[in-house]
């Protein structure tokens, strides 16, 4: 106790670093893992909307974020205009078991869930909302939404580091699922992660703004 009090006095005087256990500000201690709660996701959504607007492709309406766990994890609901964000606590046991196998252990499963469904797929869901109803596309909808999500995250603070970490997690998960033949749920997740890995591999080919320019002009628009 006396040692801790002395460290606190020294820190207050500017003669020592922070007291052990004291929280550092984000600039001093950047966090690689996705933060919990809706507040960080709300900030990410707002940053996406602002960047899309600056690129001349504003969202018709910025989707509200609602915690809801449905069959499609972290998705834009066209009927309600919301992005539904799943909660680990509400996942069916079969889904938790699959994530545990993907992560390598039950203890690591919530972390993998957070990386995928409480961070990475949010910009992709917003991209779906952005692209909906805007006429034909120069690339298939799914691929363009994947690439927009990756390009957006790559320009965010710690984006490259986080995407590199995600790529490693995806590679590990695909390796673990490779032996699960005959399981439809595992096969569907392999397809999902395979497409994600392809989008990560394309990172850097085009910027967020350049990808938005691939959208075909809406019907009736002027120009050649």
Q: What confidence tens digit (pLDDT) does each residue in 76-118 have?
A: 888 888 898 999 999 999 999 999 999 999 999 999 999 999 8
Return d(Cα 167, Cα 66) in angstroms, integer.
Answer: 27
Six-digit token pair at 164? Answer: 């590199």
pLDDT score, position 32: 67
Higher pLDDT, 47 or 24: 47
Q: State the average pLDDT over residues 164-174.
A: 94
Mean pLDDT of the chain: 79
Write down the pLDDT at residue 223. 38
From the list 57, 67, 63, the residue with the least C-alpha distance to 36 is 67
At 128-159, the pLDDT tens digits run 888 885 544 444 478 888 999 999 999 998 89
Q: Identify the burial level of 188 via C-beta atoms within 10 angstroms of its C-beta, where 0-12 means exposed, 13-18 middle and 19 or more buried.
A: exposed
Stretch among 12-16, 151-155, 168-172 having the lowest mean pLDDT:
12-16
* pLDDT level of residue 181 (50, 70, 90 thresholds): confident
Helix H or strand E segment including 66: strand 64-67
| pTM recorded for the entire structure | 0.77
Taking residues 38-45, report their average pLDDT: 91
Residue 41 has pLDDT above 60, yes or no: yes
Q: What is the mean pLDDT of residues 201-205?
A: 90
Residue 35: phi and psi, rounded to 5, are: -80, 155
- Give the residue, 142 or 11, on which the prediction is more confident: 142
Residues 215 and 167: their CA atoms lie apart, in Å, by: 27
Instruction: Say what the pLDDT of residue 10 is.
Output: 39
With residue 83 as reference, give the H or E element that holds it.
Answer: strand 82-85
Percent of the chain beyond pLDDT 90? Answer: 46
Strand ranges of the sheet holding 75-77, from the earlier edge strand across to the other edge: 64-67, 82-85, 75-77
- Segment 175-180 shows an average pLDDT of 88
């Amino acid at each position: 106790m006396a040692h801790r009090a002395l460290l606190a006095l020294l820190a207050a005087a500017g003669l020592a670093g922070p007291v052990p256990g004291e929280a550092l500000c984000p600039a001093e201690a950047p966090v690689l893992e996705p933060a919990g709660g809706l507040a960080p996701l709300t900030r990410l959504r707002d940053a996406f909307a602002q960047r899309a607007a600056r690129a001349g492709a504003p969202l018709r309406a910025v989707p509200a974020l609602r915690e809801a766990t449905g069959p499609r994890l972290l998705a834009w609901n066209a009927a309600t205009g919301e992005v539904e964000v799943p909660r680990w606590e509400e996942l069916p046991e079969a889904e938790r078991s699959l994530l545990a196998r993907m992560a390598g252990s039950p203890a690591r499963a919530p972390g993998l869930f957070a990386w995928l469904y409480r961070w990475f797929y949010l910009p992709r869901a917003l991209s779906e909302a952005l692209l909906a109803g805007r006429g034909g596309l120069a690339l298939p909808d799914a691929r363009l939404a994947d690439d927009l999500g990756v390009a957006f995250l790559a320009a965010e603070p710690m984006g490259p580091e986080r995407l590199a970490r995600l790529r490693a997690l995806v590679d590990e998960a695909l390796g673990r699922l490779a032996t699960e033949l005959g399981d439809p749920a595992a096969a569907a997740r392999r397809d999902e992660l395979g497409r994600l890995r392809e989008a990560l591999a394309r990172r850097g080919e085009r910027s967020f703004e350049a990808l938005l320019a691939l959208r075909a002009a809406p019907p009736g628009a002027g120009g050649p």
